Amino acid sequence: MMAALPPALDHALADLLGDGWRTDASERLTYGYDNSRRHAMPDAVALPTTAAQVQALVRACRVHRVPIVARGRGTNTTGAAVPAAGGVVVSFERMDRVLAIRPGDRCAVVEPGVLNGDLQAALAAHGLFWPPDPTSAAFSTVGGNLACNAGGPRAVKYGASRDNVLALTAVTGAGELVHCGSATTKGSTGYDLQRLLVGSEGTLALVVEATLRLTPAPQARGALRAVYRDVASAARAVARLMAQPVTPSMLEFMDHHAVRLARDVGGADLPHAAGALLMIEADGDAATLPHALEALRHAAHGHGTGDGVISIDAADDEAARSRLWAARKTLSPALRTLAPGKINEDVVVPVSRIPDLVDGVQRLAASFDLPIVCFGHAGNGNLHVNLMFDPTDPAQSTRAHEAMAGVFDLALELGGTLSGEHGIGLAKRDFMPRAIDPPTLALMRAIKAQFDPDGILNPGKLLPP
């Protein structure tokens, strides 16, 4: 942990930012957390309102080698927004404007601090949406979504953050303002720096303006809930669903533990023989939606074979849709009945390896004597592995962390990787050498050094020490 801020820097940034410069301990405290439940105290908090202020701030901090941690609203789950090395937290809460919505160009220009949910509300008036829909959408920022390449259930059809950005303006760790990409849906003009910035967790540059790729909003949607005898049957259905032409707009999976919890604790209406569940959605218009749902039902049902199917229920309206989703919604609170502590990691594997992932996870659960519950975005092979333990029991905590290391190794063995949409931050940083080989990791470090020659941007995150 570094010492307090150099007085010259403190004065310069107070002059630059006025009441957007905070050094009171009580104010700093609340900017030290993120949703990983880690905390570290920053030396100051900056609330810039313009790109020019961000650039001046970075240049000033660079002179004094003071760390800078970009912050949206702290919903990150990996510690990426925690100022572990002290320094200045730059919160983008005052740079929250939607600067332009251009329906004919299918794009919007925004400041990084706009809430995902506020943007979606502004876009809805134009019949458009921005695809990333993390669970936190109502209270997470576009800048934060870009920083960790946030996805969500819709990503199976519409892509994650990286797939839905056209151009970024950003300030590098050298204090340079760079313009990456163009407001066009095709581009082959030099190196693609904008997608490189997405998922870089504030370690390369601070995004000050984003031009986002938009999609016209579908007019209607419909849901199916397919219940299977076992995980293997459900996983085969996922592979069938992803191999036919109608891409579902959501394809969510719950393993047998999740199904049991939803039924026995959450009170969901699910048969006792249920060993796995898929929530399948399609979207479209009134004319095409019934055909899309029929195609999905056909694939879910094994093209007529009934392969492992117990039941498939359809929702024709929003009320019925909510009833079908109830099983999924009860899950998070129900999990807490298993144990007070939870490690939730979002490994990703090729879709065909989902059964191997779920089987392997259950072997780890048995071997470490801890419950592990899997559910998540099956169409992307992106499962949330929830490892339940009592954090007040040191032996359980140790076993939980060992088991999670086993989950990472398993995902990598299956051809997958550490994170689908949460990112690396502090939580998975030490596992990076298992996922990325030494020359590739060395190249990542070398690239980081070009953007941030003094290593002041979010030090200690993403790349292992």
Residues 145-184 touching its own copies, rule: CB under 8 A, are 148-149, 151, 155-156, 160, 162-163, 172, 176-180, 182-184
Asked whether 258 and 274 are in contact (CB, 8 A), the reply is no
- 299-358 residues in contact with its own copies (CB under 8 A) are 348-352
- 74-133 residues in contact with its own copies (CB under 8 A) are 102-107, 127-128
Place of tokens 């392969």: 307
Smaller CB separation from its own copies, 22 or 301: 301
Q: Which stretch binds its own copies (CB under 8 A): 223-231, 259-267, 379-387, 388-396?
A: 379-387
For its own copies, the binding residue among 380, 386, 396, 458 (CB under 8 A) is 380
225-264 b/e (C-beta count within 10 Å ≥ 16 → b) = bbbbbbbbbbbbbbebbbeeebebbbbbbbbbbbbbbbbe
Q: Nearest Cα to 135, choosing from 417, 329, 315, 340? A: 329
Q: Which stretch binds its own copies (CB under 8 A): 193-201, 324-332, 337-345, 356-364?
A: 193-201
- CA–CA distance, 218 with 213 (Å, rounded to integer): 16
- 10-69 residues in contact with its own copies (CB under 8 A) are none
Q: Which stretch binds its own copies (CB under 8 A): 9-17, 91-99, 199-207, 366-374?
A: 199-207
- CA–CA distance, 252 with 224 (Å, rounded to integer): 11
For its own copies, the binding residue among 6, 117, 218, 391 (CB under 8 A) is 218
Q: Nearest Cα to 32, choosing from 24, 21, 48, 43? A: 43
For its own copies, the binding residue among 30, 185, 311, 337 (CB under 8 A) is 185
For its own copies, the binding residue among 266, 422, 452, 457 (CB under 8 A) is 422
Smaller CB separation from its own copies, 88 or 155: 155
Smaller CB separation from its own copies, 12 or 299: 299
What are the helix (H) ranges across 223-353?
Answer: 231-243, 256-264, 289-300, 318-329, 331-335
How many alpha carbons fall within 13 Å on the CB side of residue 267? 2
Smaller CB separation from its own copies, 268 or 347: 347
Q: What's phi and psi for 9, nearest 5 deg?
A: -65, -45
Nearest distance from C-beta of residue 199 to its own copies, angstroms: 5
How many residues bind its own copies (CB under 8 A)? The answer is 98
Structure tokens at 433: 């050498």
